[in-house]
Each structure stands twice: as C-alpha cells, then as structure tokens.
A and B are shown apart, each in its own frame.
Chain A
C-alpha cells in the first residue's frame, strides 16, 4: 500500500464521517484517528484487496469505540429510543436540512448502514464485511433506518413490521 493510495481515499472518508457524526470537527477527528490506525496496521492489509472497504472497516471500529467510551453522551443513541417529535418539511431546501437532522436522530447502527449503502454505494455484501455483521442484520437495519428517516422527514406513519426474508 502506498501513501498516495491512502491519501486518495481521504475525501470520501471525510464525506462518510461527516454524515455519520454530523459535526465537521468531530468528523475530522474520526478521519484522523482512522488514518493513524490504518498506517499503524498497514501490514494487516492484504495487497489486491479493496483498500477503501478496509479503511471504512477501520473507521467503523474507531467510531464504535468512540461511542462506547462516550456512553454518557446524550447525543448518540445506540438503541431504538422513542421517536422524537416529527417536524414536517416544507420547501426543498428545508427538506434537505431536515434530512440531516433526521439522520442524527437515527440509532448509530442504522445510520451507518443507511449511509454506507445510500451515500457510499457499497453493496450489501460489502457492508456486511465492513461492519462485521450478518447480511440479514444489514438488511433489517437498512429497512428500519430508511423507514424511520421517512417517518421523520415526512410525518408518515412508520411501518410496524418490516421483516427480513431469508
């Protein structure tokens, strides 16, 4: 792995981190920690494998560790909490602003899956490997995350039972 190879992935790592943690400064902290860990562990990277997926996997581990060490943090809900009040959107610009806020209200595990698939366009199998979770779990987090986002941004009723079909 050459340093140029890692450097070329930084803008996309930043995009994902920004969407994942919301705050620009905290997002860059996450990117910085990820890059440090990647370079420290670069002997673990298998040449020929997908470097980007490897970097996302490292970022995910760093992120989860941060969440755990900050469990008292009021901002991050790891589990499904009660749905916050819904603020309906009006006008395209506000709608996008609302999406960002709604995203912040998703449990972190759902947010990660929705972003890796919807924003970073990883395949379901890549997300499964990146997050180290079974594909059925990827799908159920995706279903619940998208449905909750829809409820938050449109005021729609959330669908009560979205089952994963094996």
Chain B
C-alpha cells in the first residue's frame, strides 16, 4: 500500500503513533525511494536543530535587553511595562552574558568595500604580487600574528594576483586577490578577531553589486567577495574553506 505525502511527513515529524506509525514503517521497509526521502527529511530536522539551537544560548544584544516603546505607543502603561520588561530581560540575560562574541554585522560590508576599491585597479591591484607568494604570505602572517595560507583556486579558474595589508576594525587585515582568464576578480579578506570566537557557518550578504560569503574559523574571520552569482561564489567559498581545513 502506498502512503500519502501527508502521512509520510507526519511520520517524519513524529506525529504518528501506534498502528499508524508501524504501518508507515512497514511500508518504508519495502519502498527504498520513499525511505531515502523520509530519512533525508528527518536528517534535515536534526541538522536544523544542530545549526540553530546554539542561538538560544547566545547572549542577548543590548538592544533586545533595553527596548523602548515604539513611536506608536505613547501610553503610560506601555512605558511602565517596558521598564519592567527591560528589567526582566536583563535578569534573564545576565547568566548568558559572560563572553560577548564579536558582533560582526559590518564585516561583510568592510570586505565588500575593500573589494570594490582594489579590484578595479589596473596598475596597482596588490602590494605584493603572486611572483613573491612566499614573501607575501609570511609578511601578512607576521602582521596579523597568525599563520595564513593563500588558497589555490586554479581548479575554480582563478589565479592568485597577490595581496595587500589593510586596516580593519580589529587591526590589520589581509586581502588576497584572484583573477580568472577574463580578468574577473575575487578577493579573500582575512581578519584576526579579538577574544574567543565560535566557528560559524557560511553566511551570505549582497553588498550592492558585490556578493560576499563570510565565516569565522578559529580566531580568523574570512570574507570572499566578488561580482558573481551566489551559487558560483559559494562553490569557490567551499573550496577555500576545504583548503583551509584539510
């Protein structure tokens, strides 16, 4: 007997009990395609929780702890409620506040700006060219105080042009520039982050024409920028990530 999508999803979400559940299980035991699909959906649920459950533990930002009534609410009672709510949230957040991570909302914009400034340069796109790659990498590593690596993106069609040192919010930033056969450029922006950081997943930001994938790995923040479609940039970002985490 074939089961409806409704029943299969109810099974995925543990909404079936007793005979209904056993009937679906018996069906899946002899329907490998549906069984694979159901298994994939269950994995999605588990992966979503793995990905986003840590948000629950994150300290609340200041603006969520000390909210003010919006413009539309001038009533006195509302203001009083907000004072009480602020106090309650403050108490609630207290235990979570021990180690505030770097708020890096401006990180992709800085990376995109650096990309927009240097990638159109014809004569001076980089300070140190790829011909002196060894010197380039050791110089930038020394300035950031971390061992850096310039990923090899030849497989993606991009060659290293070189790199430069830039000022960032948290000190020195390294920028590596790559170029494909048509002259299209990508930049990898690498910043050392202060304090203890949690690794993050890839995040995406569209900064005007420049697409940016960015992530934290260890104590370094990375941003890969380029004027190309998101899926294409994701492919390159995945390669960069894999090379930095062999």
Interface residues of A (CB under 8 A from B): 2-4, 6-8, 10-12, 14-16, 18-19, 22-25, 28, 31-32, 35-37, 39-40, 42, 74-75, 84-85, 87, 94-101, 103-105, 114-115, 117-119, 121, 123-124, 139, 142-143, 146-147, 149-150, 153-154, 156, 159, 162-165
Residues of B within 8 A of A (CB): 4-6, 9-10, 12-13, 15, 37, 40-41, 44-45, 47-53, 55-58, 60-61, 63-64, 67, 69-70, 72-73, 78, 81-82, 84-85, 87-89, 92, 103, 105, 201-206, 215, 229-232, 234-235, 238, 241-242
> Cβ of A28: which chain B residues have Cβ within 8 Å of it?
61, 63-64
Q: How far is A119 from B50 in the complex, measured between Cα atoms in Å?
A: 9
**29 A–B contacts, CB within 8 A, in A order:** A2-B88, A3-B89, A4-B92, A11-B56, A14-B60, A15-B52, A16-B52, A18-B52, A22-B204, A23-B205, A25-B103, A31-B64, A32-B67, A36-B70, A39-B69, A40-B69, A40-B73, A40-B78, A42-B81, A84-B229, A85-B235, A99-B51, A100-B51, A101-B204, A118-B13, A121-B13, A146-B12, A150-B41, A150-B44
Main DSSP-derived SS at the B contact region: helix
Docked Cα-Cα span, A156 to B43, in Å, equals: 15
* B52 CB contacts on chain A under 8 angstroms: 15-16, 18-19, 119
Contact (Cβ within 8 A) A74 B85: no
**Residues of B with C-beta under 8 A to A85:** 231-232, 235
B44, A10: Cβ atoms closer than 8 Å? no
* Chain A residue with the shortest CB-CB distance to B208: A74
A14 touches B235 (CB 8 A): no
Question: Would B105 and A25 count as touching, CB distance under 8 A?
Answer: yes
CA gap between A163 and B7 in the complex, in Å = 12
Assess A74 versus B56: contact at CB under 8 Å? Given A4-B88, A96-B47.
no
Q: Which of B61, B73, B204 has a CB less than 8 Å from the CB of A39?
A: B73
Interface pair B85/A96, CB less than 8 Å apart:
no
Report chain B residues within 8 Å CB of A156.
40
| Chain B residues with CB under 8 A of A18 | 52, 55
Residues of A within 8 A of B67 (CB): 32, 35-36, 39
Give Cα distance in the complex from A59 to B230, angstroms. Answer: 27
* Besides the known contacts A15-B52, A94-B242, A99-B44, 9 further A-B residue pairs in the complex with CB atoms under 8 A apart: A7-B85, A10-B92, A22-B203, A25-B105, A31-B64, A118-B45, A118-B48, A119-B45, A164-B6
Residue pair A10, B15 in contact (C-beta under 8 Å): no
Tell me the smallest distance from the CB of A22 to a CB of chain B, in Å. 6
Q: Are B234 and A87 in contact (CB under 8 A)?
A: yes
Cβ contact of B105, chosen from A19, A24, A42, A98, cutoff 8 A: A24
Assembly CA distance A154 to B57 (angstroms): 30
Could you tell me if A87 and B201 are in contact, using CB atoms closer than 8 angstroms? no
Shortest beta-carbon distance from A51 to chain B in Å: 13
- CB-based contact B85/A6 at 8 Å: yes
* Interchain CA distance A165-B202 in the complex, whole Å: 37
Please determine whether A165 and B5 come into contact, CB atoms closer than 8 angstroms: yes
Given contacts A35-B64, A150-B40, whether A15 and B5 have CB atoms under 8 Å apart is no
B5 and A119 within 8 A (CB): no
Residue of A nearest to B33 (CB): A159
Kindly state the separation between the CA atoms of A31 and B6 in the bound complex, as whole angstroms.
Answer: 32
B48 in contact with A19 (CB, 8 Å): yes
Most buried by B among A10, A23, A98: A10
* Pairwise interchain contact B89-A10, C-beta atoms closer than 8 A: yes
User: What residues of chain B lie closer than 8 Å to A114, measured between beta carbons?
Assistant: 44, 48
Indicate if the CB atoms of B5 and A14 lie closer than 8 Å. no
Closest approach, in angstroms, between the C-beta of B222 and any C-beta of chain A? 13
A99-B72 in contact (CB<8A): no
User: Taking CB as reference atom, which chain B residue is nearest A147?
Assistant: B37
Known: A35-B67, A39-B78. A3 touches B85 (CB 8 A): yes
